[in-house]
Structure 1
Amino acid sequence: MYIQKKEEIRMYTVTDEKCWTGRIDSETEVNMFRLHQIVRIEDVLSFNVKHKGMAIGLIGFRCDEGVRRNKGRVGAYKAPDAIREALASFPWHFDDSVVLYDFGNVSCDDKELEAAQDELGEAVKKMLDANIFPIIIGGGHEVAYGHYVGEKRHLKNQKSIGILNFDAHFDMRPYDQTVSSGTMFRQIGDELAAENKPLRYMCVGIQKSGNTKHLFATAEQYGCEYIREDEIYSFGPEHIIERIQAFMDANEAVMLTLCSDVLDASWAPGVSAPQPFGLEPKILRRLMKAAIQNRKVTSFDIAEINPELDEDGRTVKLAASLLYEVIESLCQREEE
């Protein structure tokens, strides 16, 4: 592995309760509750409950060091708490047996990106070991590497991990100088190659204008499956869902990662790299929900929301809405 496992999480803080405040319609009637009345704020370091039913755990990755190294627009550090605040007043429509936790933040405050990714991996592993579905709120897309580390440690190399990425970019740049928000999947591919294992990676929403010819060649070299943004509109969502399902069926476990720059800039201006021809939110929601309803998907992250560049908070609100859709899809999956 590129980074070394440490004994404990040292960049970790418990979530400030102020993030979870909002409208109260009733203090006693559960059918009138909102998420801020349901969520349980916990310390991931001392947590020791193992679940049998549906349990979902939020954890933030406050980091944009990878974006800075990739010469992008910083500001995603502030996204986890901003998204929590936007999510707080969403209504609770789900079964009483569903448990929603908030496990705080891993923060990269000192440019030690690799250490922060490692410690995020430890937190994700702990949630997975407890049968809790992790929802990781970035931060830059460098969050995906820490996400993968947690999955790998949890599975102990006993299952293949498929990576399903909704993204305008491959994020497979060379990293001989430094790792960043644009190198994660090449890093993972090289680590797997050292173990004589293939990279199992599908990227949905690729923009031809956002990736060099070299990056397309690199993706082919590493065996990456990809679907361009224009193909989604040409072939239609059902055809794309079939391709996504075929990819998931070929893997034993799947981590789902969403880089918000896959969205059209008119809907999501507050991202690190806005895309004028990105996906409409309703199309992304349809593809994403179809993927999450497959039980092979064991974890999810969202990345590159940048509150400092947002207009009227609408990108943050869209991110919160997408997380709400993830929670709903997981609850529907549990009912099946």
Structure 2
Amino acid sequence: MNLSIFFEPLPEDPFGYPENPKSVGSYLAPFVHSFPDWRSAEVVLIGLPEYRGSTNTTDVTYQGPNRIRQELYRLMKGTGAWLLMDLGNLLPGIHLEDTYLRLKEVIETLVDAGKFPILLGGSHDLTYGQFLGYEHLGKTVNLVMVDSQLDMVDDERATPEQSHLHRILLHEPTYLFGFSNLGHQTYLTESSTLAALEKLHFELFRVGQVRQQMQEMEPVIRQADLMSFDVSAIRHQDAPGQQYANPFGLTGEEACQLCWYAGQNNQLSSLGFYGYRPEFDHRSLTATTLATMVWYSIEGYYQRLPSLDFQSNQFLKFSVGFHDNPNKMAFYKNRHTEKWWMEIEDLSGQRPPFVVPCSYQDYLTAADGEVPHRWILMQARF
């Protein structure tokens, strides 16, 4: 597919030539004059200057992606080859639905080619277009969101940004296997919404749980095929460039830690950053925070390990017995990274056992004779 027809070039003046030859801007090919050959890239940046799904868009400057780029290009390159390209900004469709479909086609093409697109949004409802890009795969996928509230308003008066999660969950054909939300704040979310998602056996972590159990978030993110990060999950002190100021939320450092986990996830094939409103970001603090989060995502990507072979010497296997079965549950530990996986046996017998990410705490729980909650969730989703 000729992706160039979907994009507009970047303005040259705001970026110019990188002052430092070791900066990120010196190691990427941006779409300024000619569309880059994205097939030779590994990580691809895409700007999404689309805000029609949001509220109060009168003062929107549509320069959000470019402001993030300005700060990202100035950062120093990390380790690894960094085969990075910036395809410019996606041209919005005539209608908002057209933008979703354009984003769908772009994600389809890039994911099929084995590229890792990083999306710089735009309102959070663009996650729906990102999600549509996985419909053609013919398999179920796992979605992880980081958001201060769950966008499941079931009201025809609601904006797409307020209801896009509801639309994702009801999408036909159904190909969403797992959903997890990190960082929601209970006083911003209806209790009925939380109850409905818990009945679907999805994982929901309050901002306090994320902060207190940061290492436990790593296996949650390690299951994701796509991830969506709303800037509203970050407290106002670190990210004032959002529509509704919130004094509580993740710190910038915690947000970067989650992005580091995301980048390292071999299974993750797209990552979106949404909700940035530059008209509220007078000193570019939010743009700097988001640029650093993108940097950690890319750096994590270049720390990914080769495909997993649980029968190799790279892994240690631990078997935990329950009652009359000495090998009821199996765990695997990577000798180098010390990350854990858990083998799940389908009790219905309809599929062979499969291995999912877990934590050391899951192993300790099983060793104490209790079934880990993660194992129960996986069984319930079948």
Name the aligned partner's letter for residue 40 of structure 1: A
Q: Could you tell me which residue of structure 1 aligns to residue 315 of structure 2? A: none
Quick check: 1:76–1:138 contact (8 Å CA) kept in 2? no
Q: Could you tell me which residue of structure 2 aligns to residue 101 of structure 1? A: 85
Q: Does 1:280 align with 2:264?
A: no
**Residues 151 and 19 (structure 1 numbering): CA distance in 2 closer, same or farther, change over 3 Å?**
farther
Q: Could you tell me which residue of structure 2 aligns to residue 207 of structure 1? A: 185
How far the C-alpha of 1:275 sits from its partner, in A, is 2.1
Q: Could you tell me which residue of structure 1 aligns to residue 102 of structure 2? A: 119
**Residues 22 and 212 (structure 1 numbering): CA distance in 2 closer, same or farther, change over 3 Å?**
farther
Quick check: 2:49–2:89 contact (8 Å CA) kept in 1? yes
Quick check: 1:164–1:257 contact (8 Å CA) kept in 2? yes
Name the aligned partner's letter for residue 99 of structure 1: L
Larger Rg over CA atoms: 2
2:142 counterpart (162, 174, 184): 162
Q: Could you tell me which residue of structure 2 aligns to residue 14 of structure 1? A: 9
Tell me the SS of whatever aligns to 1:127. Answer: helix
Q: Does 1:143 align with 2:101?
A: no
Quick check: 1:67–1:74 contact (8 Å CA) kept in 2? no
1:133 counterpart (116, 127, 130): 116
Tell me the SS of whatever aligns to 1:118. Answer: helix
Name the aligned partner's letter for residue 220 of structure 1: E
How far the C-alpha of 1:312 sits from its partner, in A, is 1.0
**Residues 132 and 201 (structure 1 numbering): CA distance in 2 closer, same or farther, change over 3 Å?**
same
How far the C-alpha of 1:48 sits from its partner, in A, is 6.5
2:278 counterpart (289, 301, 307): 307
Q: Could you tell me which residue of structure 2 aligns to residue 38 of structure 1? A: 27
**Residues 99 and 175 (structure 1 numbering): CA distance in 2 closer, same or farther, change over 3 Å?**
farther
Name the aligned partner's letter for residue 255 of structure 1: L
Quick check: 1:271–1:304 contact (8 Å CA) kept in 2? yes
Q: Could you tell me which residue of structure 1 aligns to residue 197 of structure 2? A: 219
Quick check: 2:145–2:182 contact (8 Å CA) kept in 1? yes
How far apart, CA to CA, are the structure 2 residues paired with 1:311 and 1:287?
A: 26
Tell me the SS of whatever aligns to 1:101. Answer: strand
How far the C-alpha of 1:306 sits from its partner, in A, is 1.0
Name the aligned partner's letter for residue 168 of structure 1: S
Q: Does 1:181 align with 2:161?
A: yes
Q: Could you tell me which residue of structure 2 aligns to residue 82 of structure 1? A: 67
How far apart, CA to CA, are the structure 1 residues paired with 2:140 and 2:234?
A: 29
How far the C-alpha of 1:33 sits from its partner, in A, is 2.4
How far apart, CA to CA, are the structure 1 residues paired with 2:5 and 2:124?
A: 21
Alpha-carbon displacement from aligned partner over 1:169-201 (angstroms, at most 9, x marks no partner): 11112254565112222111111xx43555521
**Residues 198 and 242 (structure 1 numbering): CA distance in 2 closer, same or farther, change over 3 Å?**
closer
Name the one with the larger helix percent. 1
Q: Does 1:318 align with 2:289?
A: yes
Q: Could you tell me which residue of structure 2 aligns to residue 238 of structure 1? A: 215
Quick check: 1:21–1:36 contact (8 Å CA) kept in 2? no
Name the aligned partner's letter for residue 13 of structure 1: E
Q: Could you tell me which residue of structure 1 aligns to residue 373 of structure 2? A: none
Tell me the SS of whatever aligns to 1:82. Answer: helix
2:261 counterpart (283, 290, 299): 290
Q: Which has the higher contact order (CA 8 A, sep 6+)?
A: 1
Quick check: 1:19–1:88 contact (8 Å CA) kept in 2? no
How many residue pairs match? The answer is 305
Name the aligned partner's letter for residue 116 of structure 2: F
How far the C-alpha of 1:19 sits from its partner, in A, is 4.3
TM-score (norm: length of structure 1): 0.81
Tell me the SS of whatever aligns to 2:258. Answer: helix
How far the C-alpha of 1:142 sits from its partner, in A, is 1.4
Structure 1 regions of 5+ residues with no counterpart?
1-6, 26-31
How far the C-alpha of 1:212 sits from its partner, in A, is 2.0
Name the aligned partner's letter for residue 67 of structure 1: S
**Residues 180 and 258 (structure 1 numbering): CA distance in 2 closer, same or farther, change over 3 Å?**
same
How far the C-alpha of 1:138 sits from its partner, in A, is 0.1
Q: Could you tell me which residue of structure 2 aligns to residue 29 of structure 1? A: none
How far apart, CA to CA, are the structure 2 residues paired with 1:37 and 1:243?
A: 34
Name the aligned partner's letter for residue 16 of structure 1: P
Quick check: 2:51–2:122 contact (8 Å CA) kept in 1? yes
Alpha-carbon displacement from aligned partner over 1:266-325 (angstroms, at most 9, x marks no partner): 111111233211011112222331233120111101011111001311111111111111
**Residues 74 and 272 (structure 1 numbering): CA distance in 2 closer, same or farther, change over 3 Å?**
farther
How far the C-alpha of 1:220 sits from its partner, in A, is 3.1
Quick check: 1:164–1:256 contact (8 Å CA) kept in 2? yes
Tell me the SS of whatever aligns to 1:323. Answer: helix
Name the aligned partner's letter for residue 164 of structure 1: V
Structure 2 regions of 5+ residues with no counterpart?
307-336, 338-382
How far the C-alpha of 1:334 sits from its partner, in A, is 5.8
Tell me the SS of whatever aligns to 1:59. Answer: strand
**Residues 276 and 76 (structure 1 numbering): CA distance in 2 closer, same or farther, change over 3 Å?**
farther
**Residues 19 and 224 (structure 1 numbering): CA distance in 2 closer, same or farther, change over 3 Å?**
farther
TM-score (norm: length of structure 2): 0.72
Q: Could you tell me which residue of structure 1 aligns to residue 310 of structure 2? A: none
How far apart, CA to CA, are the structure 1 residues paired with 2:188 and 2:59?
A: 18
Q: Does 1:58 align with 2:51?
A: no
